[in-house]
Structure 1
Amino acid sequence: MEDQKQQKNEFIREQIKNKPVNRKKAAAKVGICAICGVVFALAAAVTFVLAEPAIRKILCPQEEENPDSVNTYIADTESVTESEQSDPDVTSQAQESLSIADYQILQNQLYAIGSQGNYSIVTVTSVVSNTDWFHNSYESEGQGSGVIIQENASEVLILTEQKVITDPSRITVTFIDDTTAGAVMKKYDGNTGIAVLSVAKSDISDSTLDTISIAEFGNSNGVTKGSIVIALGSPLGTNYSILTGNVTSTDNEISTIDHNYSIFTTDIVASKSSSGILINVSGQIVGMVMQDYSNSSEENTLIAVSSTELKSMIDMLAEGKDIPYLGMTVTTVTEKIEKEYDIPEGVYIKEAMMDSPAMAAGLQSGDVITKINGEKVASDTAYSSQVMKLTPGDTIPVVVQRQSADGYSEITCKVEVGVLE
């Protein structure tokens, strides 16, 4: 019965079916959505670009004022990173190693210059015979260095100090190849103690003549504080030494009879009995190292007399000429002294040496020299230059200003030029 009711009502049961999908319409909707998204994104991007500067000014005013701050920070960060990556110990060691290597190279080069210069250096030995209280004979010798300065067809000329020559009759010279030859005194200057020896070429072997070299004089006026110099000869008492250093001062001078000479002080350690020459990095002589003008202080550093200022005298000695001698120590009357002390322009006589030609002629300390042999002199350099032009034995006029109660008055003295033994 129930089965019949169920079959009877089946005709009114509703069946719901899904609506079929229209693929064309779905694709069209997806495309429209995509286009709308792109348009919206473009609009948003344009809006952001246009509004961004204004927003930045409002929100980040400091960043706007310093637009490179980000780049600066990045650069600083990179530099810090590089610094952190480098090893400071390794860098320091590399720099130290490089500087030491450079210094050693420089020293080797200077030593090579000095070694070449030693071919013009000789050892001068003077032997003298003596007798003691018990009538026993013995020999003593003086020794120092010398430098070969000239040669001609018959002789080789050597510059040295008269002080090391105890007996002029027995002088020997030892060259760099250890060969020896006899020498004679050609001339010396009693003021500075500089002497020139002559060695006959006939007493020197051909091989030695081929080995030795002639020293070249440079311009001492080019020497300045800090200049690199090389000391040759016997700066420490041992010949053929090579010492390097720097000039520490060029402002000092020594006052000798008739001449004032510039001296160079150096940082080179030397003995009080040092002698020899000072050369520049070109191997040229720029200074003479002499025992009489050694450093008297406890520092015992080497000093040298300007060779340029000695050159005219050395040339005269090499020619066998006597050095003119008047016998005064002088100084320049500068413009400041002239105004401050009302002293006439010229050369002030500090002292007229005892028994000198100047004293014999009546010149005295306090006089101001204005002319020598008709030539005006306004400085100690001009005075020295005029003295070197004189001839020993000649009588020349020397005009001075002498102070009296009424002021300065002009006086002319006749001076016979002499030679200091």
Structure 2
Amino acid sequence: MTKPIIVTALLAGLLGGAIGVGGSALLDHQATPTAPVLSSQPANTVNAADVKPGSVTYAAQVASKSTADIKVQMAQGTAVGSGIVLSSDGYVLTNNHVVAGAGSGSKIVVSTSDGKQYPATITGTSPSYDLAVIKLDGASGLTPAILGDSDALQVGEQVVAVGSPDSLSNTVTSGIVSALSRTVAAGDESGSGVTVYNGLQTDTPINPGNSGGPLVNLQGQVVAVNSAVDTGQASSGGPQSFGLGFAIPINTAERIANQLLKDGEATKPVLGVSGSLSSSDREDGATVTVQKGGPAASAGISSGDVITKIGDTPVADYADLMAQVLTHAPGETVPVTIGSGSGARTVKVKLGSTVDKQQTTVPESDGQSGGSRLPFGGNPFGQLP
């Protein structure tokens, strides 16, 4: 069995004292009639293929129209992130950690691709999935994003990220899909606010302020929500990691966003077990304590059982288990494998449901927050990932 990788990240909104107004003006690099042409090819045909579907240029042009800059102005500083326009009248999807600091006395200001600014309010949040929907006051005529199918992604496929790293509006970066399923345990620099979810991995550069922005395919369709980046051991004086970004698959994000739009809140699945991370565990799998009367107990799972698979996906530990459960919808029936080898057995569990009001966290055996922490596409505590 190949042990799944758990990566660690930091939150991706940027928080600082006096953060400058978002970004610099975009320059028009198109050739003018008087510009010199350093080619025998006519100027109006140069790079013509690059603006067709299937190119990074095309993807960037499409995605930029539906990407917004988000600033949350608070007493202690300003959180900066990005957002994905969902509707022409101003509903925008972003990361929960971008707007989590918004409270009494704070103000959310959103800039759209046409240069207009709008005040915004929070429609609903889903802490476990690190997603939120906000509403721009008085907006109209915006360009909604085109949502793709994250289940159709392939490793090696080219993708493009658009957002506002360090308040540089409409910044475009490109890369590939590096892996389709990673257990991400992400938190801020202080080690608090740790949340666990399942994300896809990309080498597309994701920087502070990219949080909540779109990761799109070469057709310009949103396939994921940028959320985290692994900085390696840089914060402790060790080697810096590069090219390890993480995003929330759009199929998951779309389900959560629809719930937030409809009800102002979202639900998450419940397996009905608890557990922890322990460095003394030597076998792959999550040793669980079963909650009385819960879905796992009803399916015949007992305390002390070691869960090794959810569906066809191997489970390495308790963080992995929680992340895999979150890939399913409440009420869904999933096969759960207990044990390994000749003694393994599989039961079917109908997942329960609960309103998502707090992050899904994984304690270590000593009661401290566990899992690895990767920086989200913008660290809310002001240090670059």
Structure 1 contact 113–281 (Cα < 8 Å) conserved: yes
Number of equivalent positions: 270
Q: Work out the CA distance in 2 between the residues paired with 1:287 and 1:409.
A: 31
SS of residue paired to 2:87: strand
Q: Work out the CA distance in 2 between the residues paired with 1:353 and 1:238.
A: 48
Q: Name the % identity.
A: 15
TM-superposed deviation, 1:120: 1.0
SS of residue paired to 2:127: coil
TM-superposed deviation, 1:121: 1.0
1:118 aligns with 2:53: no
The residue aligned with 1:299 is 241
Residue 182 of structure 2 is aligned with which of 237, 240, 253?
253
Amino acid paired to 1:324: K
The residue aligned with 1:127 is 73
1:310 aligns with 2:246: no
Structure 2 contact 150–251 (Cα < 8 Å) conserved: yes
Return 5+ residue gaps in structure 2 as ranges.
1-39, 186-193, 233-239, 276-282, 314-322, 359-385
TM-superposed deviation, 1:168: 4.0
Q: Work out the CA distance in 2 between the residues paired with 1:241 and 1:353.
A: 47
Q: Work out the CA distance in 2 between the residues paired with 1:308 and 1:273.
A: 23
The residue aligned with 1:59 is none
Given the superposition, is the C-alpha separation of residues 125 and 352 from structure 1 closer, same or farther in structure 2, using an over 3 Å criterion? farther
Within 5 A, what are the aligned runs for 1:268-279? Answer: 268-271=204-207, 274-275=210-211, 276-279=213-216
Q: Work out the CA distance in 2 between the residues paired with 1:110 and 1:181.
A: 29
1:189 aligns with 2:134: no
Q: Work out the CA distance in 2 between the residues paired with 1:179 and 1:193.
A: 26
Q: Work out the CA distance in 1 between the residues paired with 2:155 and 2:95.
A: 27
Amino acid paired to 1:308: N
The residue aligned with 1:31 is none
Larger Rg: 1
The residue aligned with 2:78 is 141
Structure 1 contact 237–271 (Cα < 8 Å) conserved: no
Q: Work out the CA distance in 2 between the residues paired with 1:409 and 1:112.
A: 47
Within 5 A, what are the aligned runs for 1:8-407? Answer: 110-129=56-75, 140-151=77-88, 155-165=89-99, 166-168=101-103, 170-200=107-137, 203-204=138-139, 209-210=140-141, 212-234=142-164, 238-247=168-177, 249-254=178-183, 261-266=198-203, 268-271=204-207, 274-275=210-211, 276-290=213-227, 293-297=228-232, 298-301=240-243, 302-319=245-262, 320-324=264-268, 326=270, 349=286, 364=303, 366-368=305-307, 378-379=311-312, 383-384=325-326, 387-389=329-331
* TM-score for both structures, normalised by structure 1: 0.51
Amino acid paired to 1:326: V
Return 5+ residue gaps in structure 1 as ranges.
1-96, 131-139, 331-340, 371-376, 391-395
The structure 1 segments of at least 4 consecutive aligned residues displaced by more than 6 Å after TM superposition are: 256-259, 357-363, 398-403, 406-410, 412-416
* TM-score for both structures, normalised by structure 2: 0.55
More helix by share: 1
Q: Work out the CA distance in 2 between the residues paired with 1:287 and 1:116.
A: 15
Deviations 1:44-71 (A, max 9, x none): xxxxxxxxxxxxxxxxxxxxxxxxxxxx
SS of residue paired to 2:144: coil
Amino acid paired to 1:114: A
RMSD after superposition? 4.8
